[in-house]
Amino acid sequence: MSRKTYRSDDVCFLLRPDDVMAGIETVGAWLDAKHMARSVMKTLFQEKLVLLNGKKTNPKESVELNDELRLQMPKEKIDHDPVPMELVILYEDEDLLILDKPVGITVNSKGQVSLANGVAQYFKDNGIKRKVRFLNRLDRDTSGCIVIAKSALAQSFYQQQIEDQRFEKWYATVVQGVLLDTNIVDLPMKRGEDGIHYEVREDGKPTRTVYNGTGVFEEVEGVQLGDASGNQPSDVTDGQFGDVVATSYREVSADELATMTEADKAKLVSTVDIRLYTGKTHQIRVAMAHLGHPLVGDALYGNERAGRTYELRARRVVFTSLRTGQIVTVSAD
């Protein structure tokens, strides 16, 4: 049912001169121009939550310059058990919550505490009466930008950007061997017969991965590589043995590479920036392994020892705001 009061999460649009010049004459055409999903809008119309100048409206109603269109969001019940959890918030507005997901926690798993439970607690504490809707997924051992939509309207709006490849998802990782070029990798992928691995198969779903090698490094013997950025050495804990080890590595110059044997090059590692155009499970790990450059520490797709953690970070997302139409960049550096 329609609300008599307005809330901060209401979505409001003002019909501007450029909208009129574009030929927008009805509420329905206005909503289409704003990329509002018709399936979601049908529900809002049925619940009388779409208002034109403060009065309930319908898709066929005419609009004029300076008209105000208001979309009210229905209340929902939180669909996960709230669990107190420390969350690192990178960005938040009326429609999105973007967190820096840590390594070692799943996004949404049945039967165990996951990030969804922490988001549910945050929603409860802040009076956000919404379901938890993830727009992207990260594996347990992948960190960085995880995006949550606060409403069905926001979910459909940004999901369309993802499907149209206008919602940019950037990652940073470290791979085995020398990888310094830039390339587009189109591969069909499908879950393997063991139900765990994903494989490159002709009958798989299409994927697109774009990578850019940013540097080649030599790991100092007996230490671990600290992060995917290749910037600062640091102290990290080896999760398998519990030993504190110093992370240190040295960038290898082009002149040095030119004099190295292939065997020596195989011992090096490369930092790589990656953009995902599709979002299949294990896509980056499968693509890099297929190219002969598995992620450092990836025991599933490489030849690493079990128990070592690979380096993969969702470093940046770029999207167009639902409300303002402006480009927004959120980074987890």
Taking a C-beta distance cutoff of 8 angstroms, is the pair 132, 120 a contact? yes
Q: How many residues does the chain have?
A: 333
Q: Is 10 a catalytic residue?
A: no
Question: Which of the residues 32, 139, 227, 264 is marked catalytic?
Answer: 139
Taking a C-beta distance cutoff of 8 angstroms, is the pair 330, 145 a contact? yes
The torsion region of residue 193 among left (phi > 0), alpha (psi -120 to 50) and beta comes to alpha
Nearest 5°: the CA angle 185, 316, 164 is 55
Q: Which two tokens stand for residue 275?
A: 């953009």
Question: Which residues are the active-site residues?
Answer: 139
